[in-house]
Amino acid sequence: MYHVIIPARYASTRLPGKPLQLIAGKPMIQHVWEQARRSAAATVTVATDDPRIVEACKGFGADVVLTRDDHPSGTDRLQEVVSLLGFDDATCVVNVQGDEPLIPPALIDQVAANLLANPSASIATLSEPLNDPAALFNPNVVKLVTDHQGFALYFSRAPMPWCRDAFAESRDVLPSEVPFHRHIGMYAYKVGFLHDYVGWPASPLETAESLEQLRALWFGCRIHVAEACVAPPAGVDTPEDLARVRALLENP
């Protein structure tokens, strides 16, 4: 059994009021909630710091929690919510981003099953093969490497693994024998880990890369990574992304 929590902030530099932007007559957060409800999650709860999002969620029947507005990260917000909901330390929770209106329910189920199947892991997440050289060298695309059991060794915005000889000759084609992977930012956590996480200081690697999951690795936690069972659609970060998703859902 597991639970889904959907963090949804009103403030967004590139798209203010993003969770309430209408898509096919519904606010974006409703689309995310409906997709999560199609998963096997026992409960689906929206977590927000804005009363406007609370009212919208109540309007379509979602469980919603109003959190503090001073959390430094989404993980901190998640920890407040699991505390408010009274989940015990062994409970599995999946963080589904509030700007993923097309998120496949199968991915939500997969990341939860991944954590439950790997009891030594504190976190489970997903990846997909990366075959595009431009994406490998793009710092906005997070890359990862794992060991032979699928446990994360590192996450980075830099290209990795670095193929010394191949890249010395050309960076236009990726070596076919090397496993390159892009990180998919969906996580399943054990509640006990979340309580530990908020008490740890940010690590130098986390600060340098601006990647929260590096704090977990820094403090010795294990993160298990599975290859996504279906290709995840892109989320909504910009007005252009919003127009693309509107076109998909308004003109099926």
- Model pLDDT, residue 70: 85
Nearest of 78, 12, 23 to residue 46 by alpha carbon:
78
Mean pLDDT for the stretch of residues 131-153: 96
116 occurs within a structural domain: yes
Print the domain residue range for 154: 2-230
- The fraction of the chain above a pLDDT of 90, given in percent, is 82
Going by pLDDT thresholds of 50, 70 and 90, the confidence category of residue 12 is confident
167 occurs within a structural domain: yes
81 occurs within a structural domain: yes
250 occurs within a structural domain: no
Mean pLDDT for the stretch of residues 67-96: 91
Q: What's the pLDDT tens digit per position in 83-119?
A: 999 999 999 999 999 999 999 999 999 999 999 999 9
Checking if the pLDDT of 252 tops 70, the result is: no
Q: Which residue has the higher pLDDT, 238 or 85?
A: 85
252 occurs within a structural domain: no
Cβ proximity of 128 and 182 under 8 Å: yes
240 occurs within a structural domain: no
247 occurs within a structural domain: no
How many domains does the chain divide into? 1
Q: What's the pLDDT tens digit per position in 151-201?
A: 999 999 999 999 999 999 999 999 989 999 999 989 999 999 999 999 999
Mean pLDDT for the stretch of residues 218-223: 97
Q: How far apart are CA 182 and CA 13, in angstroms?
A: 24
Tokens standing for residue 35: 């997709």
Task: Give the CATH number for residue 194.
Answer: 3.90.550.10
Q: What's the pLDDT tens digit per position in 203-214?
A: 999 999 999 999
* Residue 56 exposed, middle or buried by CB count within 10 Å (0-12, 13-18, 19+): buried
189 occurs within a structural domain: yes
Phi/psi at 185 (5° precision):
-80, 55
- Model pLDDT, residue 72: 78
